[in-house]
């Protein structure tokens, strides 16, 4: 299968591309290597993928309509996996216009290139942040989402709406996957598990927002990849599907897990809750189980020690990333 992957040198993207290549598919990746975090991280990911003969990398911006159209036309994909985006709730509060340009216009560019070229099948990487301040738990795809609290979440919901419109108007088959707090090897350095591990090892204070009672459904990247790959081989009209672990972990408990894995106590730098943050994420994954045979295997109690082991081996002696 020929697959076109946007954001394929990033955290989730590089794992997805690696799994595609191991499955025997070919993958054309477009990534802009932007400065949201040090581009060296993505360059390292791309170098790992470049060992495969069926991997092709194009450096380009999804917000450039011409580049997306020409790159996709040359790749002649059977499936598109759209993972490129500006990520991060807090950064979106600081620069919402950038998030609108990349996440909304970029998604529209991908969809319209597919329409023009004749590619019918898309997997779209969305986010649990769309659920916002939803009080009903666990979060279901059928829940209304009137309480979005960040520009990042708003741009991802707009992306889902564009996907739905292109399915209705042009018959594209689309699975929009709402990812829940993904972590694991090659993780983004701005994410909590990465930051906490790095700073505890260095003996530096960790940013500890609120009273530690916030909860997240931390999902290992291996489980996310299994869900993404399942969408590429199954027929869809238009579906929104949660991909999470369906288990919540308090911030204070997460810190304790990392402390145990590192073998050092954390120094907490207490900070107020941040604008755009939500108190809880918790995935109902019944739909993913039914449509994708999704069965997450890595509980956070297993995944955190595995991440710390990877960090010690691959990152502990590198310069601080954040």
In a domain, 320, yes or no: no
Residue 319 lies in a domain: no
Write out the two tokens for 238. Answer: 């238009």
Domain count, the chain: 1
Are the CB atoms for 170 and 240 separated by under 8 Å?
A: no
Question: Is residue 278 helix, strand or coil?
Answer: coil
- Predicted confidence at residue 180, as pLDDT, reads 97
pLDDT band at 317 (very low <50, low <70, confident <90, very high): low
Q: Of 189 and 211, which is predicted with more confidence? A: 189
Question: Is there a domain that residue 114 lies in?
Answer: yes
Task: Please state the pTM of the whole predicted model.
Answer: 0.95
Point out the residues that are catalytic: 152
Question: What local confidence, expressed as pLDDT, does residue 316 receive?
Answer: 62
What percent of the chain shows pLDDT beyond 70?
A: 98
When pLDDT is cut at 50, 70 and 90, the band that residue 209 belongs to is confident
pLDDT band at 271 (very low <50, low <70, confident <90, very high): confident
Residue-level pLDDT at 322:
45
Q: Report if residue 322 sits inside a domain.
A: no
Average pLDDT over residues 189-203: 95
The pLDDT score that the predictor gives to residue 318 is 59
What are the angstrom distances between the C-alpha of 32 and each of 22, 85, 177?
Answer: 24, 10, 22
The answer to whether the bond into 254 is cis (omega within 30° of 0) is no
- Residues 152 and 87: beta-carbon distance below 8 Å: yes
CB atoms within 10 A of CB 78: 15
What is the span of the domain harbouring residue 90? 2-314
33 in a structural domain: yes
Is 72 or 279 the better-scoring residue by pLDDT?
72
Q: pLDDT per residue over 96-123, tens digit each?
A: 999 999 999 999 999 999 999 999 999 9
> 321: burial class by Cβ within 10 Å (0-12, 13-18, 19+)?
middle
> Is pLDDT at 140 greater than 50 in this prediction?
yes
For residue 305, is it within any domain? yes
The predicted model gives 149-170 an average pLDDT of 97
**For 36-45, 205-214, 305-314, which range has the lowest pLDDT when averaged over its residues?**
205-214
The CATH number of residue 166's host domain is 3.40.50.720
**Residue 239, domain member (yes or no):** yes
319 has pLDDT over 60: no
Average pLDDT along the chain: 95
For the stretch 30-84, pLDDT in tens is: 999 999 999 999 999 999 999 999 999 999 999 999 999 999 999 999 999 999 9
Residue 283 in 3-state DSSP? Answer: strand
- Residue 6, pLDDT > 80, answer yes
Give me the helices (H) in 95-220, please: 96-99, 106-117, 151-170, 192-202
130: DSSP letter: G
At 61-76, the pLDDT tens digits run 999 999 999 999 999 9
pLDDT tops 90 at residue 270: no
Residue 321, in any domain of the structure: no
Helices (H), 118-219: 151-170, 192-202
């Amino acid at each position: 299968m020929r697959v076109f992957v946007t954001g394929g040198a990033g955290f989730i993207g590089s794992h997805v591309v690696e799994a595609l290549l191991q499955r025997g598919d070919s993958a054309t990746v477009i990534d802009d290597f932007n400065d949201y975090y040090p581009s060296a991280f993505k360059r390292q990911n791309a170098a790992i993928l470049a060992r495969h003969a069926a991997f092709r990398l194009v450096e380009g911006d999804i917000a450039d309509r011409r580049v997306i159209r020409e790159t996709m036309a040359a790749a002649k994909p059977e499936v598109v996996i759209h993972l490129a985006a500006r990520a991060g709730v807090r950064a979106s509060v600081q620069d919402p216009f950038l998030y609108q340009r990349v996440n909304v216009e970029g998604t529209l560019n991908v969809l319209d290139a597919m329409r023009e070229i004749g590619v019918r099948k898309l997997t779209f990487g969305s986010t649990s942040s769309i659920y916002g301040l939803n009080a009903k738990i666990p979060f279901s795809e059928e829940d209304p989402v009137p309480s979005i609290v960040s520009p990042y979440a708003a741009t991802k919901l707009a992306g889902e709406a564009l996907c739905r419109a292109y399915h209705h108007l042009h018959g594209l088959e689309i699975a929009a996957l709402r990812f829940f707090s993904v972590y694991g090897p090659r993780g983004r350095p701005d994410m909590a598990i990465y930051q906490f591990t790095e700073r505890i090892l260095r003996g530096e204070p960790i940013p500890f927002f609120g009273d530690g009672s916030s909860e997240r459904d931390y999902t290992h990247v291996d489980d996310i990849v299994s869900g993404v790959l399942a969408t590429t081989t199954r027929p869809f009209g238009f579906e929104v599907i949660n991909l999470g672990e369906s288990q919540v972990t308090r911030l204070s408990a997460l810190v304790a897990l990392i402390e145990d894995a590192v073998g050092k106590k954390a120094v907490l730098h207490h900070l107020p809750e941040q604008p755009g943050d939500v108190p809880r994420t918790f995935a109902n994954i019944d739909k993913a189980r039914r449509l994708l045979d999704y069965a997450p295997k890595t509980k956070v109690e297993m995944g955190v020690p595995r991440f710390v082991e990877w960090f010690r081996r691959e990152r502990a002696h590198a310069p601080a990333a954040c």
